[in-house]
Amino acid sequence: MDLRGENKGYPYPLGVLQRIEKLADRMNRPSRWLLPEGRPELFVGVDLGTSYVVVVVVDDQGDPVGGMMQFATIAREGLILDYLGAIEIVKGMVESLQKGLGIQLGYASTSFPPKTESANIRTTQYVVESVGMKVLKIVDEPSAANRLLNVQNGAIVDIGGGTTGIAVVEDGEIIYTGDEPTGGTHLNLVIAGRKKISFEEAESYKLEHQAETLEITLPVIQKMATIVRDHIGDRRVEVVHLVGGTSGLIGMEKVVEEELGIPVGKPSHPQLVTPLGIAIACTEERSVQSGRREPLRSV
């Protein structure tokens, strides 16, 4: 397996990509979920996306233990609209993980699109708490991604189902975040209209016919790149890092790079970066609250 990412011009640290690959290998595969030796404390990341709900379990060093991903329509443009549906989905996923791992999961973190109103942030927290876990941290999505990627200088762009979130990083600190309501659902609408198929069928079509999807949805992707450029403004950004489910479209990083005139990197399995970062945020917060404050093992 080539772990350098789809854009070979940007070499992500091997340790980072190994974590992503380990999670991909265990996603929705209970037979591959395995408790670490010594049964350390486990931590959960819950990503309530517009198109997918992802629940990730990591150990106290941020290494993936197991995970689940499920297509869902509980949100629109990053806002939770189906509160009860979200609870039902997350509860089922957490119960499956607990059963498969044979352990009770107690601590979790979750996320929100940048610039989201406080009511939506509280809703995401209530969804996770309603299934019996204590929420230790709520973090915006691009910042969560950087918990894993550890970008020191550059921009992280999280393109999900409903939104495009941007975080600009200088010297390891996030100095700006922004968000716009454009994402994978907009690609689906274009595909559905062109192919005369349903929205749900368009989601499958997008995954199965990526080259044609890139051609059909090119104007929307160019708009996403414009959104990124507008949010970056006159800030000095040397590299843009694409994460999020929609950025998994093959060739998307090349379009964004051409539009921005800035090198664009994309790790393997970009849809798993933010959920894994959310779980890592939980381990970090638990360490701080317990007074240990040790850094995670370097990757």
Say which range, 152-156, 245-249, 265-269, 295-299, has the weakest mean pLDDT. Answer: 295-299
Chain-centroid distance of CA 88 in Å reads 21
Mind listing the pLDDT tens digit for each residue in 20-67?
999 999 999 999 998 888 777 899 999 998 889 999 999 999 999 999
Domain ranges (residues) in the chain = 14-289
Question: Is 109:136 a contact under the CB 8 Å cutoff?
Answer: yes
**Is the predicted pLDDT of residue 290 greater than 90, yes or no?**
no
**Is the predicted pLDDT of residue 200 greater than 80, yes or no?**
yes
- Report the mean per-residue pLDDT for the chain: 88
**Is the predicted pLDDT of residue 233 greater than 50, yes or no?**
yes
What pTM value is reported for the model?
0.89
Helices (H), the chain: 14-26, 83-101, 118-129, 141-149, 184-195, 199-208, 210-216, 218-232, 252-260, 273-289
CATH number 3.20.20.80 is the correct assignment for the domain at 14-289: no
Confidence of residue 292 (pLDDT cuts 50, 70, 90): low
**Is the predicted pLDDT of residue 204 greater than 50, yes or no?**
yes
Using DSSP, state whether 92 is helix, strand or coil: helix
Burial class of residue 158 (count of CB atoms within 10 Å of its CB; 0-12, 13-18, 19+): buried
Mind listing the pLDDT tens digit for each residue in 131-186?
999 999 999 888 999 999 999 999 999 998 888 989 999 999 999 998 888 888 89
Query: Between residues 288 and 113, which one has the greater pLDDT?
Result: 113
Question: Is 241:257 a contact under the CB 8 Å cutoff?
Answer: no
Say which range, 109-118, 169-178, 186-195, 208-217, has the weakest mean pLDDT. Answer: 109-118
CA nearest to 54, candidates 34, 31, 74, 71: 71
**Is the predicted pLDDT of residue 208 greater than 80, yes or no?**
yes
Q: Which residues contact residue 233 at a Cβ distance below 8 angstroms, ignoring those fewer than 6 apart?
A: none
Question: Is 174:158 a contact under the CB 8 Å cutoff?
Answer: no
C-alpha to C-alpha distance for 45 and 58, rounded to whole angstroms: 8
